[in-house]
Structure 1
Amino acid sequence: MEVTPHVHQLPVTTPTLFPATTTNVYLVVHGDRAVLIDAGYEHEEAHQKVAEYVKQIGSPKVEAILMTHYHHDHTPGAKFFSSHFDCPVYAHPLEVELVEKEIAPVKVGGTLVEGDVVDVGGLKLHVLHAPGHTHGCLNFWLPEDGVLFTADNVVGVGTTWIGPPDGDLRVYLDTLRRLKTFQAAWIAPGHGGMISDVEAKIDFFISRRLERVEQVYQLLRERPRTEAELVEAVYQGSVHPSVMWVAERTIQGIVIHLIENGRARDVDGTYHSL
């Protein structure tokens, strides 16, 4: 559906993480030209719905697919869309190989880096390198509509996990603080509905991460603990076994953050507070 004068949000069914059940594909349109931001999963019904929607709004020429990051709930749909719309796929240089694994045999046709501007029929879509969730995550800024496309850095349902090998909590927090400086009217998230309370939402994501860091630090002040003990203490009974790996990587990311900030140390796999 149209959410701002030049932006259409198209949620598509994907195997993403609960509580989200869909991933947003965005169509940015100006005149008879358009680009897609993200492509969702390989889901034939979702593909057809997007293709039909493009027809319904006048069949603007889709000139490119811009990948925010390589995760499989955002990328494999490009196999269909790149062929259907006869357009290239773009990604950050750090994630070209990873994206290509998800969209094989399709190849990435070009790269986007911080400071690039994608021209959409004269409309300027600014490229932001926004790492933290993944190393080569891209976000986009559309000043014409005041829309910030945040991918999984800020989502409209649930929160975002940050942990190795892709995630870096310090970098992620820096990215969130930077996103606040755009003073956007809207966040267009990777999952969930459009977000109008932009500053409050970003502040919530920052505070949520920092609260979890402090929780882990206090647990280590009580006594030294292993990673498994930290996971159990923080997530005891609240995480479904299917996503336990997310909890484990989140704890890994927090411990790395504490060590980097001189607040903890690793002694043969057991973490001590400093």
Structure 2
Amino acid sequence: MAEHPTGIPIQLEPLVTRVLAPNPSPYTGTGTQTHVVGTTDLAVIDPGPGDPAHIGALLAAIGGRPVSAIVITHHHRDHSPGARPLSLATGAPIVGAAAFFSSDDGPRADASFDADYRPDRVLAEGDTVSGGGWTLAAITTPGHTSNHLAFALPETKALFSGDHVMGWSTTVVSPPDGDMAAYMASLEKLMARDDRVYYPGHGDQVDRPQRLVRGLLGHRKQREEQILRLLRDAPRDIAAMVAQMYVGLDRRLIPAAERSVLAHLYDLDHRGIVAADSNEGLGGVWRIVG
């Protein structure tokens, strides 16, 4: 992975500058990457956590230029909380993903919800925000979250992929807000595009995006087949499946693996291929139907 210094603006191309937030973790990699788009007037994509040092770094990168929009891909706490203080500092509206209210009281493996996130304008498929020499077009990409958006920059054929496609790891799909069938459909949707480069929320830029997306689809299909092979052998709970599927995994990432397996099982259950012996979710025993 390329070096990602925290708080230092790095110009990725004439219209795009990246500023890394100081929130590294097993789930965020080096941290959340905020992207500043434009030269004269700007958009700020995913201002990250509400960390005063990061907001200060963003304001320094903005350098007093007008901000047309603060653009949010989704409502996780490593992406959207910085929107409110940045909006107060710049006067820019918050646009993008819809607000979300979760009834999920189960364990969370990825970044938790930003309960205070309230956009001034929700963007739907094809909606745009624009400024001097740039346009950001919303692309609905549910899966990691139900309200996830990616944003295309048609002037340079770049795509800001948020957490849907990352440059360092596969994304967590954590039910009930995360949905494996929606995630796979969103990957197929991106496969049909011809974007030149992805700028993800975490990790290196993706210079061969279709190759990576094809690999992500294949990876998830392999995981599904692993689950089916194990269940054809005998009914199992998720903990037993994870122990066999993710040998040597960092223990801090086991909850994420369990949620991902649960997402696959929910998808397989919806397709009538597997079923649980109880309604206990992660604690239930799963089996092949028939």
Q: TM-score, normalised by structure 1?
A: 0.89
Look up the match of 1:124: 135
Are residues 1:220 and 2:213 paired?
no
Are residues 1:183 and 2:194 paired?
yes
Does the aligned pair in 1 maintain the 2:139–2:149 contact within 8 Å? yes
Does the aligned pair in 2 maintain the 1:79–1:103 contact within 8 Å? no
Task: Return 129-138 or 221-230, whichever deviates more.
Answer: 221-230
In 2, Cα distance between the equivalents of 1:270 and 1:18?
A: 27
Look up the match of 1:4: 13
Look up the match of 1:261: 271
Look up the match of 2:41: 33
- Tell me, which stretches of 5 or more residues in structure 1 are unaligned? none
In 1, Cα distance between the equivalents of 2:28 and 2:199?
A: 18
Does the aligned pair in 2 maintain the 1:39–1:77 contact within 8 Å? yes
Structure 1 pair 107–200 and aligned structure 2 pair: CA distance change class (3 A): closer
In 2, Cα distance between the equivalents of 1:75 and 1:261?
A: 34
Look up the match of 2:74: 69
Does the aligned pair in 2 maintain the 1:96–1:108 contact within 8 Å? no
In 1, Cα distance between the equivalents of 2:80 and 2:29?
A: 16
Are residues 1:79 and 2:88 paired?
no
Look up the match of 2:57: 49
Give the residue type in structure 2 aligned to 1:177: E
In 2, Cα distance between the equivalents of 1:261 and 1:235?
A: 24
Specify the SS of the correspondent of 2:21. strand
Give the residue type in structure 1 aligned to 2:288: S
Specify the SS of the correspondent of 1:206. helix
Give the residue type in structure 2 aligned to 1:85: T
Does the aligned pair in 2 maintain the 1:149–1:188 contact within 8 Å? yes
Q: State the shift of 1:17 in Å.
A: 3.6
Look up the match of 1:270: 285
Specify the SS of the correspondent of 2:38. strand
- Determine which of 109, 116, 129 is the counterpart of 2:120: 109
Specify the SS of the correspondent of 1:255. helix
In 2, Cα distance between the equivalents of 1:223 and 1:196?
A: 42
In 2, Cα distance between the equivalents of 1:69 and 1:2?
A: 24
Does the aligned pair in 2 maintain the 1:131–1:171 contact within 8 Å? yes
Q: State the shift of 1:216 in Å.
A: 0.9
Does the aligned pair in 2 maintain the 1:129–1:139 contact within 8 Å? yes
Number of aligned residue pairs = 265
Give the residue type in structure 1 aligned to 2:265: V
In 1, Cα distance between the equivalents of 2:247 and 2:190?
A: 33
Q: State the shift of 1:97 in Å.
A: 5.1
Give the residue type in structure 2 aligned to 1:80: P
Give the residue type in structure 2 aligned to 1:167: G
Aligned residue runs from structure 1 range 186-225, under 5 A: 186-225=197-236
Specify the SS of the correspondent of 2:32. strand
- CA deviations on 1:160-207 (whole Å, 9 max, x unpaired) are 111202111111011011112221110011101211111111111111
Does the aligned pair in 2 maintain the 1:163–1:254 contact within 8 Å? no
Does the aligned pair in 1 maintain the 2:234–2:287 contact within 8 Å? yes
Structure 1 pair 43–34 and aligned structure 2 pair: CA distance change class (3 A): same
Does the aligned pair in 1 maintain the 2:100–2:147 contact within 8 Å? no
Q: State the shift of 1:5 in Å.
A: 2.3
In 2, Cα distance between the equivalents of 1:17 and 1:63?
A: 33
Identity %: 29
In 2, Cα distance between the equivalents of 1:60 and 1:111?
A: 24
Q: State the shift of 1:52 in Å.
A: 1.1
Does the aligned pair in 1 maintain the 2:28–2:202 contact within 8 Å? no
Does the aligned pair in 2 maintain the 1:180–1:202 contact within 8 Å? yes
Aligned residue runs from structure 1 range 134-213, under 5 A: 134-213=145-224
- Root-mean-square deviation (CA, aligned residues, Å) is 2.0
Q: State the shift of 1:47 in Å.
A: 1.8
Q: State the shift of 1:60 in Å.
A: 2.6
Structure 1 pair 152–81 and aligned structure 2 pair: CA distance change class (3 A): same
Q: State the shift of 1:126 in Å.
A: 0.8
Q: State the shift of 1:270 in Å.
A: 2.0
Does the aligned pair in 2 maintain the 1:19–1:157 contact within 8 Å? no
Give the residue type in structure 1 aligned to 2:156: D
